[in-house]
Copies of this chain bind each other. A is one copy, B any other.
Amino acid sequence: MKTSQTLFNQTKLKATQARLEVTDILLKNPRPLSHQEILKKLPQNFDRVTLYRNLNWLLKNGLIHRISGEDRARYFEINHQFIQSNEKYRSSRKIAPDNHLHAHFNCQNCGKFFCLDDIHPKFKLELPPKFIFDTIELTVKGKCSRCQ
């Protein structure tokens, strides 16, 4: 398991204690986590606004993804392009965007997200004129195994 320090070293992005702590948590977790879930895993005194700001910074710099849950909370997941970053990325300041085209499952009861890594839908993407594409989000909704 790579540490977040190792990964930051492969980029020109500046690491701070808070960024490393937050990124480490996302690296260790196989599913997207909410702000609340992340905060619980951080040291007791970690400020919640600092966490919001760090998540926004990580998002802006492409190290993580953000998805919106049915429960109005946002869930954060490591950008797997970042984990696999190599020479190609070390030379640039920004992390390359993860096309992120695997699906997620969102439990309508507990709100948790789960990665459905094997689901990669295929379709022709034609947008209306002058619409600009950024990303795709495919979410399957229902109840997770613990919530029936």
Contacts and interface: CB of A to CB of B under 8 A. Distances in A.
Contacts of A138: 121, 136-139
Interface of A: 68-70, 72, 74, 103, 105, 108, 114, 116, 118-145, 148
5 contacts: A108-B134, A125-B140, A127-B142, A132-B143, A134-B141
- Oligomeric state, in number of copies? 2
A136 B141 contact: yes
Contact of A120 (B120, B123, B134): B123
B118 A126 contact: yes
A140 B133 contact: yes
Contacts of A126: 118-119
